[in-house]
């Protein structure tokens, strides 16, 4: 399963993003990421991409999140994937998908193009916007990542469409946040372990105290669950064409929910075991935890996806939840 491409992508992105963490968009780093081809990796070679699998294409997104790098990497990856599906060709980045009328867009002021989505009968309409910089009303999420509101746009008629349900597209966008959460939670766990191995109180490292050990064990269980959740969502995205939306949407919804639950637990434990230093601006923990607090509710809040899944479970026939769950199992391609 660990293809050499996957390892290569991991290695390249770790080299590129390590030590580059910060609050907002970094134009120089964006150029470097573009140079590496990351934002177009999902596209076929004829469309200027690498024809990567979803797992390979999302790897730099996870690494960027783990390194607390603020780039519209996944946004551009997905916007280009949707655009190519609709026959709109390759879009110059950064690009992001955004629902028409939705308040805040990721990295709005830096976007070359916005792929504006609207609900149509039997699909989703796409129109391309190229808003001037002054049309953006600047804002941020809890982590200081740009989340800007586009003011006063004329309604634009859809230029193209994709035969996909709006909720499937929402689930695709939420998968980006799931992958980011998994990456950041693993980085949080790593930071906690390193800290607890060196920080001494009462004459021994914090990690030698059983109370701390159990907290770190709980953190590890959540990190593993979030990673599996992200892997599941990405795999279901990969097989969207063959296994269909019926498999992808509940899988992506569950993955986002589970990763969000893990994010809450991870941030809480991380701040607790770090004590006061973790609460200071100079220490890099907050670059990860503040993102986790944002991402768990971006692109479908935790409670929205919870309601979606509750409804999904309740609309199965009697004793039908189990068959519905197993129907979502990843199928081995012959």
Partner 1 sequence: MALPTFPLEATTPAQAALRDEVRAFLAEALTDLPARERARSWTGFDAGFSRKLGERGWLGMTLPKEYGGHDRSAVDRHIVVEELLAAGAPVAAHWIADRQSAPLILRHGTEEQRRTILPRIAAGTCFFGIGMSEANSGSDLASARTRAEKTADGYVLNGTKLWTTYAHKAHYMIVFCLTGQAESRYGGFSQVLVDMSLPGISVSPVLDIAGEHHFNEVSFDNVLLPPDALLGKEGDGWAQVMSELAFERSGPDRFLSSFVLVDELLRCLKRMPGAAETSDLGRMVARLMILRQMSLSVAGRLARGEQPVLAAAIVKDLGALFEQDVPEIARRVLHENASDPEYAAVFRRILLAAPSFSLRGGTREILRGIIARGLGLR
User: Is residue 224 within the footprint of partner 1 (CB under 8 A)?
Assistant: yes
Residue from 10, 20, 129, 325 binding partner 1 (CB under 8 A): 325
Site for partner 1 in 260-289 (CB under 8 A): 261
Among 9, 63, 181, 196, binds partner 1 (CB under 8 A): 196
Name the one residue in this structure whose structure tokens are 């989703």.
124
Q: Nearest Cα to 185, choosing from 73, 48, 292, 317?
A: 292
Residue 18 touches partner 1, criterion: CB under 8 A: no
Burial 173-185 (b: 16+ CB within 10 A, else e): bbbbbbbbbbbbb
CA distance 214 to 254: 26
- Does 251 sit near partner 1 (CB under 8 A)? yes
- Contact segment (CB under 8 A) with partner 1 among 16-24, 164-172, 192-200, 269-277 equals 192-200
Task: Choose between 163 and 327: whose C-beta lies nearer to partner 1.
Answer: 327
Beta strands in 107-262 (DSSP E): 113-120, 123-129, 136-137, 147-150, 160-162, 200-201, 204-205
Please pick, from the candidates 7, 153, 201, 221, the single residue that binds partner 1 as defined by CB under 8 A.
Answer: 221
Q: What are phi and psi of 102, to 5 degrees?
A: -80, 140
Residue 186 found at the interface with partner 1 (CB under 8 A): yes
CB of 215 to partner 1, least distance (A): 9
Only segment of 10-18, 110-118, 158-166, 246-254 that touches partner 1 (CB under 8 A): 246-254
Interface with partner 1 (CB under 8 A), residue from 24, 217, 277, 280? 217
Does position 242 bind partner 1 by CB under 8 A?
A: no
Question: How far apart are the C-alpha atoms of 9 and 183, rounded to whole Å?
Answer: 15
CB count within 10 Å of CB 117 equals 23
Q: How many residues does the chain have?
A: 334
Q: Is 330 one of the binding residues for partner 1 (CB under 8 A)? A: yes
Contact flag: residue 231 with partner 1 (CB under 8 A): yes
Q: Which is nearer to partner 1, 49 or 207 (CB)?
A: 207
Which member of 131, 207, 278, 300 binds partner 1 (CB under 8 A)? Answer: 207
Query: Nearest approach, Cβ of 192 to partner 1 (angstroms)?
Result: 10
Quote the least distance from Cβ 316 to partner 1, whole Å. Answer: 7
Residue placing its CB nearer to partner 1 in the complex, 39 or 278: 278
Distance CA 125, CA 195 (A): 49
Pick one of 97, 182, 189, 285: the residue that binds partner 1 (CB under 8 A).
Answer: 189
The vertex-264 CA angle with 262 and 270, nearest 5°, equals 95
Nearer to partner 1, 4 or 45 (CB): 4
Checking DSSP bridges between strand 113-120 and strand 95-99, what pairing results, if any? parallel
| Angle, vertex CA 11, rays to CA 181 and CA 97, nearest 5 | 45
């Amino acid at each position: 399963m660990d293809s050499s491409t996957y390892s290569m992508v991991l290695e390249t992105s770790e080299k590129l993003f390590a030590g580059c963490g910060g609050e907002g968009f970094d134009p120089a780093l964006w150029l470097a990421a573009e140079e590496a081809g990351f934002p177009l990796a999902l596209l076929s070679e004829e469309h200027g991409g690498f024809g990567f699998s979803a797992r390979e294409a999302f790897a730099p997104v996870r690494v960027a999140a783990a390194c607390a790098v603020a780039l519209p990497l996944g946004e551009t990856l997905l916007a280009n994937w949707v655009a190519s599906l609709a026959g709109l060709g390759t879009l110059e980045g950064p690009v992001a998908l955004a629902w028409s009328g939705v308040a805040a867009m990721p990295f709005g002021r830096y976007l070359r193009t916005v792929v504006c989505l609207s609900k149509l009968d039997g699909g989703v309409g796409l129109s391309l916007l190229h808003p001037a910089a002054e049309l953006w009303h600047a804002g941020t999420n809890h982590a200081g990542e740009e989340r800007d509101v586009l003011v006063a746009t004329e309604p634009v008629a859809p230029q193209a469409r994709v035969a996909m349900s709006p909720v499937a597209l929402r689930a695709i966008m939420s998968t980006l946040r799931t992958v980011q959460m998994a990456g950041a939670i693993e980085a949080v766990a790593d930071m906690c372990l390193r800290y607890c191995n060196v920080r001494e109180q009462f004459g021994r490292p914090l990690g030698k105290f059983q109370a701390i050990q159990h907290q770190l064990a709980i953190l590890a269980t959540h990190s593993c669950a979030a990673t599996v959740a992200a892997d599941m969502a990405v795999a279901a995205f990969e097989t969207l064409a063959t296994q269909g939306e019926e498999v992808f949407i509940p899988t992506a919804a569950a993955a986002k929910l589970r990763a969000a639950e893990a994010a809450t637990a991870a941030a809480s434990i991380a701040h607790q075991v770090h004590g006061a230093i973790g609460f200071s601006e100079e220490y890099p923990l907050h670059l990860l935890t503040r993102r986790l607090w944002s991402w768990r509710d971006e692109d479908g809040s935790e409670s929205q996806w919870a309601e979606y899944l509750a409804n999904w479970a309740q609309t199965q026939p009697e004793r039908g939840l189990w068959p519905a769950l197993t129907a979502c199992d990843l199928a081995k391609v012959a």
